[in-house]
Structure formats: C-alpha cells, structure tokens
Amino acid sequence: MIRLEDLALFVRTAALGSFSAAAREAGLLPGQASAAIKRLERELDLRLFVRTTRALRLTAEGEQYLETAREVLDTLRQGRERLRGDDAPLSGTLRLAAPSDLGRNILLPWLDDFHAAHPRLSVQLLLSDQVTDVFREPVDAAVRQGRFDDARYVTLPLLPDNRHVLVASPRYLAQRGRPERLEDLREHEAVLYMLGGRAYDRWNFEVDGQRQVVQVRGQLLSNNADVTRQWALAGQGIAYKSWLDVHRDIAAGRLEWLLPQFGEPFPILLVCPHRRQFSPAVRQLHALLAQRLQALAGTDRLQP
C-alpha cells in the first residue's frame, strides 16, 4: 500500500532535485528519503528517478506519475479544508516569499497583525530579491512586483497600478542638477540594481503608449533593492524604484520624484503555484494585503 508520506516526499524530491534537500525539509535523514522513494517505486513497480553521481532526474514514467501524485495530495488537502470550513481557525504553516525592501518596510507589521489574528498559524517570511520559483521553493505564495505572464501560476492582484518612478535626494540634485528629459539621465549617476548577476542599467519607460529604453550608468550596484534606496537617500545618484518602496521618502521630502510624467507599470501581485494551493490561509492573507496596499495607495499616493 502506498504511504502518503512517501508520495509527499516524491513530489518534493522532484521539485528540489535532491534526496538530501527533500529530507532536510521533512526533518529526515537523506537515507530515509531515499528509502521512501525506493519503497514507492516497489509499490508502483516502476522507476521514478534516474540517479547518477551528479544529478537526480525524473524518468518518463516519473514525469507522468508526478501530476497524479500532486493531484492526490491536493485532493486530500482540499477535503480536509472543506471539512474544517472557511470559518475554522487557521492552523499549520504559511510560507510567504517577498522582495526584501517591500517585505521589511511594509509587509512585516501587517504579517505581525495577521499572525496575531491567527495565533495557531505559523507564518514564515522568506525575503529575497531573487525570483523565487514557487514550484521548487517550499513556499505557499510569493509577493511579486512587475508583469508576470507564466501560465503555470495563479496571479492575484494586490496593487495593480503600482509603477516605477525616478527619485533622487535633494543633496544629489543640488550638486548635479535636475534632469529635464529622459535623455538627460545618460549624463547622471545612477544607483543600480542587480538581478541574476547582471546590472539593470537599461531603464524602460512608457512614452505615449510606446516603450522607450534609456541606457544609464553608475558605479554603485547591489542585488538588494533596499540598498539602492539607501544610496539614493545618501545622495549617491538617481534610482528607478517601485513607487511603493519610496512613497514615504517622497512624502517626507527625503527623495524628490523626477520626471513624474514618465514611468513603467510595476504591479504588485500574489502568486500561487496553482489554484488548488489557494488555501484559506492564502485567501485571507490576500484579502488583508490587498486591502491595506490599496488603502495605502489611496492615502499616500502623490499625483504627478
């Protein structure tokens, strides 16, 4: 008889590509995870993985069986949730991934409130500016900024009209002057964000419904979005940031909004691997975050 624990380990091993990683996640020894997969293979009378010294990959039969395994586990979880009902106290673990700047400066106190309202629910917040694969990483949902067109995922709007804006400190503008046109950005110092080891130094703008790209330059680069904001506050250069990340600095006069007629849509979304993962905890978190982000936009947004 197939054990549900073995089925769950198979799904996570396939996602992580490693017996040891799946074992650590489940609190097991690597040998126990490997034994569980072998036991499942015996029950099915087929081989699920090709094992080599350097890699672990699914066989053709394993690829085919993976979807069935996911559906079985999802069906059991949905049944459990229906029995509990939407009004039942939230429990278990909710793992949320979010960008570092947004997570630390805005989401963190709201998650504290969410946990206080649902004390039986364990909330794990994973902060990173790298794009989390919500199939591979052990997260239930991820807050994402920017366009997201991957059909494998369910995307739920949080703040759909957020945008990128150009900002600089009064100190920088006093020293270097204020750009009057997008082309002037080429003569200014930019503080740059890195993604995947590459500098984001080609800034995109929407101009009369058309995309315009401006190549910028800068000596300061970081893979942490909050560091670029700190550099801008310190007068090190012009930053091209999410409005949500800098709106308080603009309102307080610490940063000035440059060329406000130009920008780029940068919506904020909640992303789930698929609709069956849209659990009561994720649904309630989505409602809370959407309400608070839109209220924040309504009270703090500055008009160009």
Cβ contact 148:119 at 8 Å: no
**pLDDT, mean of residues 114-143:** 79
The predicted pLDDT at position 253 comes to: 96
What is the DSSP track for 160-228?
Answer: TT-EEEEEE-HHHHHHH----SGGGGGGSEEEEEEETTEE--EEEEEETTEEEEEE-EEEEEES-HHHH
pLDDT tens for each residue of 190-220: 999 887 778 899 999 988 888 999 999 999 9
pTM for this predicted structure: 0.69
Dist. CA 221–CA 235, nearest whole Å: 14
- 154 versus 88: the higher-pLDDT residue is 154
